[in-house]
Structures are given as structure tokens and as C-alpha cells.
């Protein structure tokens, strides 16, 4: 159980990092850099990417604690629960980034 949660958390972490902090989102969701409104779209995406750092850091800390804490090493159920919470935090961080890709109001 813990191995599956750790794998899923690692995949979410990689997906989050690639979508939040690379230029692929700018090109895919904001269109051509020469278009009108491109910079407004990029600014909105950067704002949401910054806001998503809060749950992303929480998720990363939970993943690290799940594997380094001596108390969690001896209790597999607690380790799995901590990794589950980490996975939820990764999903919240990814959802926040996706909200930034929505059209500006």
C-alpha cells in the first residue's frame, strides 16, 4: 500500500513540477506570444503557480517525513496514511495550477 502511494505521489510531484514551472503551459493554454492578452494569461498562470506552492510544499514535507521519521517506519498503517495525505495535497496543488489555466475573467 505504501509503495503504491509513494509511486502515485512521485508521479503527481513530477506532473506538478512540469506543469507549474515550465513554459509548456504558457504555449498550450495562452496561445501565441504575439497575441493580444498573452501576457495577461501568463501573469494569471504565474499567480496560480505561486499559490499552488503552499500545498505542494506541504505534500513534499509529508512525503519526506513518511520515509525519514522513525515513528512512521515502525507503523506501516501510519506511513500509508501520511502518504495518502501527501497525495491529496499534490492533487490540491495540481488543481490550483489547473485553475490558473482557465480563461481570465
- Say which residues have a Cβ less than 8 Å from residue 80's Cβ, sequence separation at least 6: 1, 2, 5
Grid cell digits, residue 28: 498550450
Alpha-carbon distances, residue 89 vs 4, 35, 63 (angstroms): 16, 35, 10
Name the pTM for this structure: 0.82
Q: What is the pLDDT of residue 26?
A: 64
Q: What's the rounded mean pLDDT across residues 69-98?
A: 90
- Model confidence pLDDT, tens digit, residues 8-23: 888 888 888 877 777 7
Q: Nearest Cα to 67, choosing from 4, 1, 16, 6?
A: 6
Rg (CA), the chain: 16
Query: With DSSP H G I counted as helix, E B as strand and the rest as coil, what are the percentages for the chain, rounded to 5?
Result: 80, 0, 20
Q: What is the pLDDT of residue 105?
A: 65
Backbone φ/ψ region at 32: left (φ over 0), alpha (ψ -120 to 50), beta: beta
Q: Where are the domains of the chain?
A: 2-29+37-101
Amino acid at each position: 500500500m505504501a509503495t503504491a502511494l509513494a509511486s502515485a505521489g512521485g508521479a503527481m510531484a513530477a506532473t506538478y513540477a512540469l506543469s507549474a514551472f515550465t513554459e509548456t503551459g504558457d504555449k498550450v493554454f495562452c496561445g501565441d506570444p504575439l497575441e493580444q492578452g498573452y501576457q495577461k494569461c501568463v501573469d494569471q498562470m504565474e499567480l496560480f503557480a505561486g499559490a499552488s506552492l503552499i500545498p505542494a510544499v506541504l505534500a513534499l514535507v509529508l512525503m519526506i517525513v513518511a520515509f525519514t521519521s522513525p515513528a512512521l517506519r515502525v507503523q506501516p498503517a501510519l506511513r500509508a496514511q501520511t502518504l495518502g495525505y501527501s497525495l491529496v495535497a499534490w492533487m490540491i496543488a495540481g488543481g490550483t495550477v489547473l485553475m490558473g489555466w482557465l480563461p481570465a475573467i
